[in-house]
A and B are shown apart, each in its own frame.
Chain A
Amino acid sequence: MGRAGHIWWQAIWRKPKLANAHLVIRQIYQLGVLSVVITVMSGFAIGAVLALQGYNQLVKYGSESSLGLGVALVLVMEIGPVVSALLFAGRAGSSLTAEIGLMKATEQLSSMEMIGVDPLQRIVAPRLWAGFISMPILGLMFSVVGIWGASLVGVDWLGVHEGAFWSIMQEGVDFKNHVLKGIVKTIAFGLVITWIAVFQGYDAMPTSEGISSATTKTVVYSSVSVLILDFFLTLVMFNF
C-alpha cells in the first residue's frame, strides 16, 4: 500500500510536461476509445432491462409514467458509474496490468532507467491520467445510452406516454445533486482502477505466472474496491 501510494504520488506529479501529451492521448485511445463499444452496448442493455422490470412493478400502481424518473435516477447516480467502472476494470485495467507486467518481465522498464528515461513519467503517468480522463466520459455515455434504451423500451414499445416520461424525469433529476455527484463517483473510480492496475503491473513477478496472477488481482481488487468505495461515496455525498 505504501509503495502503491508512492508510485501514484510520483507519477501524478511528473505529468506537467506538455511533450508527453501525445502519450496521454495514445493511452486515452487505448483505455477509453476502445472501451466505448462494450460500455455503450452494456448501457443500452441495462437501460432496457431496467425499463422492462420497472414498468412491470410501476404499472401495478398505475404510475408507469414515473418510469423515466426511476430509470434515470438509478442510472445517473448508481448503475452508470458502478457498472461502467466494473467494465472499465475488466476491459482496460486488465490490459494495463498485463502490458506493464510484460514490460517489466522483458526488462524494458529497467532498460529505460538505464538510458535515463524515467519509466514512471514515460509509462505510468500517461496511463494514470488517461484513466482519470476516460472514466467519467465512459460513465456519462453509459448513463445517456441507458436512458435512451429505457425510453426505447418504455415509450416506443410498452407505450408509456412520451411527454410524461421526459417531463417527470426532468422534474425529479437535479443536475447538481444527481448528475454531478455521479460524475464525481466516476472520477474516483477511474483513479482507483488505474492506480490498482498500474501498481499491480509494476509490482508483478517478472514471470508468466506473475503476470497472470497480477492481472487477476487487478480485476478482483479494482471491482471490489469500486463497490466498497461506491458505498462510502454514496454515504458521504447523498447526506445519509
Chain B
Amino acid sequence: MQMRSIEIIVGAFMLAGIISLAVLAIRVSGFNVGAETNTYSLYARFDNIGGLVRRSKVSIGGVVIGRVAEIRLDQDTYTALVRMEIDRDVQTISTDSTATILTDGLLGGKYIGISIGAEEAFLVNGDEITDTQSAIVLEELIGRFLLKKF
C-alpha cells in the first residue's frame, strides 16, 4: 500500500484514540474542567456523619444541588466539619435551614438533605448551617429500642 494512505489511516487511528479518551473523560467520568468556579462553599457540623464520603450528594427536596467536598474532624469540639460545594444557581438557601444526613434507599449511600427555613436572609460563601441532624446509626437505634429509652 502507498505510504501516504498508510499515514492517513494511522492518523485517523490516533485521532480515534484521542476521541475515545475524550468520550471516556466527558461522557463516562463526567470530567468537568470549569466545575470549581461554578460553586460556592457552605459548612455544616455533625456529631456523626455515618457513611458520608467525599463526593456524596447534597440535595434539596431530592434535587441534587451540590457535592460534599471535604470532611474533617474539628479537634476542638470533636465534631465532623463538612464542606459542601453548592451550585451557583442555587443562591436562596435561608440562614435557618436544616442539614440532615439521609440514606438513599435501603442499600444506597448517605447524602445530605437540606430543608429550607423561613428566614429572609440567605447563606453566602463560607457560611455555616448551624441546625444539623446527624446520621441515623442503625445499631444505636436498635440499642435504644432494646433498652426502651425512646
Residues of A within 8 A of B (CB): 22, 25-26, 28-29, 32-33, 36, 61, 63, 72, 76, 134, 136-137, 140-141, 143-144, 147, 166, 169-171, 173-175, 178-179, 183
Contact = CB atoms under 8 A, between A and B. Distances in A.
20 contacts: A25-B6, A26-B6, A29-B6, A29-B9, A61-B107, A63-B105, A72-B28, A76-B24, A137-B14, A137-B20, A140-B24, A141-B17, A141-B20, A143-B20, A170-B28, A170-B29, A173-B30, A175-B24, A179-B21, A183-B21
Nearest to B20: A140
B27 interface: yes
A171 B59 CA distance: 14
Interface residues of B, number: 22
A25 B9 CA distance: 10
A136 B17 contact: yes
B54 to A, nearest CB: 11
Contacts of A178: 29
Nearest to B24: A179
Given A29-B9, A29-B10, A33-B10, A175 B17 contact: no
A33 B15 CA distance: 12
Interface string B1-44: 00100110110011011001101110111110000000000000
Contacts of B23: 144
A72 B20 CA distance: 13
A-side binding surface: helix, strand, loop or mixed? helix
Contacts of A169: 28, 30
Contacts of A28: 10, 13-14
Nearest to A30: B6
Contacts, number: 71
A25 B6 CA distance: 8
Nearest to B17: A137
B22 to A, nearest CB: 10
Contacts of B24: 76, 140, 143-144, 175, 179
The 9 closest A-B pairs by CB, nearest first: A170-B30, A137-B17, A140-B20, A173-B29, A175-B29, A175-B31, A144-B20, A33-B13, A29-B6
| Residue from B13, B14, B25, B105 having most chain A Cβ neighbours under 10 A | B13
Given A32-B13, A33-B13, A147 B28 contact: yes
Contacts of A136: 17
A32 B13 CA distance: 8
A179 B16 contact: no
A171 B57 CA distance: 10
Given A171-B55, A179-B24, 6 more contacts: A22-B3, A25-B10, A29-B10, A169-B30, A170-B29, A179-B21
Contacts of B13: 28-29, 32-33, 36, 134, 137
